[in-house]
Amino acid sequence: MKEEMLEAIYGTVERLEQKVDELSTSPKNTEDGTISAPVSVDTSKLENAILSVSAKEEDTIEKLARLRDAICVYVELTKKETCKEEQRSKLLLNAIKQLKQEQNAASKVIQDKLHVMGNTPQKKVVTHRFEPTSKYVLLFIVGLVLSLVISIWGNLTQWREHEDWEEADLKYRALRMALPTDDQNIRYIEKNFSVCRDENVIDDVRNRVAVYEDSIRRHHEMVEMAAYKDSMSNILRKESEMIKKKLPKQH
């Protein structure tokens, strides 16, 4: 396309040059076809036209030279751009090849890992389920029930002890109310327990009270035992009397 344009421009310039030469050198023909003798003619206009045509021709030649230079620069630029495009395409191809190689290497590593994982023994996952019929669940429930029963029993024992303490305090207060205010025992207890607290006296009183309660308990046990023995002796006496009645009388 560029060569055709240059050829067209060169052809136009040649035609212009031919026309200028024909105008400057062609002889004048007469009306009857014979060559007439040179006649003095005013050629100033023709010279001016030739000068203007030559000036235009020079301008055209200069423009053609500029156009040729521009075409050469354009050709050089296009060559450089094509070289750059080729370099870019080569870099792109190299990057694609490198990516393919990295992808192949990564896929190979993953395949090796999968192969190793397939050859290694798998770990068993143990799951613990909460089943009501399980032995451990039943043991846990039994232990929970036992702990609940023991805690209830301990609370009841403490509550009874607390009630006993309240009753003992109420008994002492009732005795203190019934006895006269100047009673020696009441004054002794109030002095050593409340006014001037003496741990030795309190321990002595605690021991004497324990001995007294023990003696009272034994006395009651002996009374109950005596009553039981009396009842048993009465039963045995009645049985012996019944046996005597059933025996035949001896003469």
Handedness of CA 182, 183, 189, 192 (dihedral sign): positive
State residue 132's pLDDT score. Answer: 56
State residue 116's pLDDT score. Answer: 75
8 Å CB contact between 90 and 50:
no
8 Å CB contact between 186 and 176:
yes
C-alpha pair distances (Å), 227 with each of 215, 217, 222, 237: 18, 15, 8, 15
State residue 150's pLDDT score. Answer: 92
Burial code (b: 16+ CB inside 10 Å, e: under 16) for 215-232 equals eeeeeeeeeeeeeeeeee
| 50/19 Cα distance (integer angstroms) | 10
Walking along the chain (251 residues) 10 residues at a time, the average pLDDT comes out as 61 70 56 44 63 73 79 81 82 84 83 74 59 72 90 88 81 80 81 83 86 89 90 88 76 47
C-alpha pair distances (Å), 142 with each of 94, 129, 150: 76, 19, 12
Output phi, psi for 34, to 5 deg. Answer: -95, 155
The pTM (predicted TM-score) of the whole model is: 0.31
State residue 32's pLDDT score. Answer: 45
State residue 131's pLDDT score. Answer: 58
